[in-house]
A = this chain, B = another copy of it.
Amino acid sequence: MNSNSAEHTDRGIEDAPDGDCCTASHSLTDEALLDDVAMLSAVGNETRYETLRYVAGAGQAGACVCELPPLVGVTQGTVSNALSRLLEAGLVSRRKEGRWRYYTATTEARTLLLALDTIQEGSDE
């Protein structure tokens, strides 16, 4: 019932970039696509995004888990889970120091957050 897509390649758009008229495409491998989605969905949650922002705000020194629960406003267990998920997505790295663990934002995370800052800037000018 959904084979009607080749039917109107003759539409009135002439400024198509180069190549076929209206066949959209993208150049991501399936793996890259899934990686991106995993990363984006990891940050696409208020608790995790705010946690990541705090971690990134702590710079190279990193943020220790214990200071985050009151800042983010969730339980210690929730923060720990959030950090684990961010770690798995490659957005933070972990460093042991005594009985504490310091989480630091990765380059990937910084790139992403910078892009988001850029977007926010553009939205009010």
Contact = CB atoms under 8 A, between A and B. Distances in A.
Interface size class of A (residues with CB under 8 A): 35 or more
Interface string A36-66: 1101111111100110011111111111101
Copies of this chain in its oligomeric complex = 2
A32 to B, nearest CB: 5
Nearest to A47: B37
Interface in A55-90: 55-64, 66-71, 75-76, 90
A97 B14 CA distance: 13
Interface of A: 2-5, 7-8, 11-13, 15-17, 22-28, 32-37, 39-46, 49-50, 53-64, 66-71, 75-76, 90, 97-98, 100, 102, 107-108, 111-112, 114-116, 118-120, 122-123
